[in-house]
Amino acid sequence: MGEKFRALWRKTVWAWSPESDRESSEAIVKNFWLHWFPAKVARASMDWNYSFWLGTASAALLLILTVTGVMLMFFYVPSTERAYGSIKDLEYAVSFGRLLRNQHRWAAELMVAVVYIHMARVFFTGAYRGPRAVNWVVGVVLFLSTLFLSFTGYLLPWDQLAFWAITVGTSIAKQAPVVGPTIQFILLGGHEIGQQTLLRFYVLHVFFLPVFVWILFGYHMWRVRKDGGLAAIERLRDTRTMVAKATPKTKSYSLFGITPGTSVQVMSSTGLEESDQVFSSPNMSRRIALVFLVVFNITLIAALMFNAPLEGLANPSVTPNPAKAPWYFVWLQELVASTTIRLSGFAVSGALLGGILLPGILLAVLTLWPWLDRSPRSAEGRWLAPERKRQNATFAVATILIIVLIMVGVYLRGPYWKIYWPSQPRPEMPRLY
């Protein structure tokens, strides 16, 4: 009997703890969960302090959010009458419901941050040039989708915070030239936030956007492999004499190699020396599991320590003072609040300038950066390469400006959106609801 259990256990885990090189490579072919990895990967790609495994951490957060999100769906009712009550029930009537909601909330906010830091890492290592430019754009779309997922989820508790953040957010959309009012109308499903809006945001949040992000994530991973991993070859180029292999070997993925040409190429790790490679299982699979566990525990500890905010029931007639957007949109709120330009009685709305045009330009520059970048390709795959001083400084300055705006919005803005230094007393605002 014990022998049988041992055999079963062995059969279950062999792919994850192979005991020979043969078992390692067989694991990739025979295990469904591992088959999307290459048999071998560059040892350099495993470095903790090159990538900080931020992409893997983002994916771990996406998985945590999907699972906790689906569980929350069993308790949440997307109706203006019952939404708020079902959140209250999660907090007070459902066993561990509050923990579940907390974890979903903190994982969501962490994901916005981690995805951005992941993007910053790719930028500072210059790993978005050449064929990787496509994946950079895919990454930007994934970042935007993360923000939009967060935004649609923000409305669902149907509390004051939710209601007014969405009021402000959709009013910004309305300021877009020509199509603005139509965009707002179809987002809201009417002229004001109501049942239609809640249902639309709900379906976007629990189905449309997650499915979109998962598919795009799959493509993102696929491209990582096709484009040659984490710039490992570029990184080793300096330390190895790879004269003969200056151009990494490519491998065709066509069926049996019959298809002519190089339609789907792999800048594969076969361009590396044998000694520069390791088996994916267990070297990569174990690290991925470790990253997942660490990320999971961080969100769990955050969920145990801090409660997700929930204000009073949504009330269209009372605007909280001050009403603030979620922290990752507060910098936009700062722009929106301070960019109205007046020229002899004619005013350009701050919402148009700060809410649409400026972020639109920022986004366009961010997306097209791989093509605007003229730094030498030799700087690829190195942290803060001196040849890229200007590029890195630009990104850092923009990031710092956004962080400063967020800090001002979150910590200094008091009633009526006035600046209050921490030493200044804030007037007690009557709570009108």
For the bound state, the minimum distance from the C-beta of residue 180 to another protein, rounded and expressed in Å, comes to: 12
80 lies in the binding site for another protein (CB under 8 A): no
CB–CB of 169/325 below 8 Å? yes
Phi/psi for 319 (5° steps) reads: -90, 125
Q: Which of 63, 67, 323, 358 binds another protein (CB under 8 A)?
A: 323
- Per CB under 8 A, which region of 111-119, 243-251, 349-357, 360-368 contacts another protein? 349-357
H or E element at residue 369 = helix 358-372
336 lies in the binding site for another protein (CB under 8 A): yes
312 lies in the binding site for another protein (CB under 8 A): no
- Per CB under 8 A, which region of 47-55, 204-212, 216-224, 334-342 contacts another protein? 334-342
**What residues from 171 to 230 belong to the interface with another protein (CB under 8 A)?**
171-172, 185-186, 189-192, 194-196
Separation between Cα atoms, residue 257 and residue 273, nearest integer Å: 24
339 lies in the binding site for another protein (CB under 8 A): yes
265 lies in the binding site for another protein (CB under 8 A): no
- Percent helix, strand, coil in the chain, to 5, is 65, 5, 30
Sign of the four-CA dihedral 278, 279, 283, 284: positive
For the bound state, the minimum distance from the C-beta of residue 357 to another protein, rounded and expressed in Å, comes to: 14
CB–CB of 421/412 below 8 Å? yes
Q: Which of 15, 351, 356, 385 binds another protein (CB under 8 A)?
A: 351
- Per CB under 8 A, which region of 220-228, 242-250, 285-293, 414-422 contacts another protein? 414-422
148 lies in the binding site for another protein (CB under 8 A): no
Q: Which of 303, 314, 307 is nearest to 84 (CA)?
A: 314
Residue/partner pairs of 366-374 with CB below 8 Å, 24 or more apart: 366/140, 367/137, 367/140, 369/123, 369/128, 369/136, 370/128, 370/129, 370/132, 370/133, 370/136, 370/137, 371/133, 373/126, 373/128, 373/129
Sign of the four-CA dihedral 248, 254, 259, 264: negative
**Cβ contacts of residue 127 below 8 Å, gap of 6+?**
230, 231, 234, 380, 381
Instruction: Please give the distance of CA 91 from its chain centroid, rounded to a whole number.
Output: 27
Give whichever of 19 and 81 is closer to another protein, judged by the CB atom: 81
Give whichever of 297 and 338 is closer to another protein, judged by the CB atom: 338
- Per CB under 8 A, which region of 121-129, 154-162, 166-174, 225-233 contacts another protein? 166-174
For the bound state, the minimum distance from the C-beta of residue 415 to another protein, rounded and expressed in Å, comes to: 7
405 lies in the binding site for another protein (CB under 8 A): no
Residues that bind another protein (CB under 8 A): 164, 167-168, 171-172, 185-186, 189-192, 194-196, 316-323, 333, 336-340, 347-351, 354, 415-418
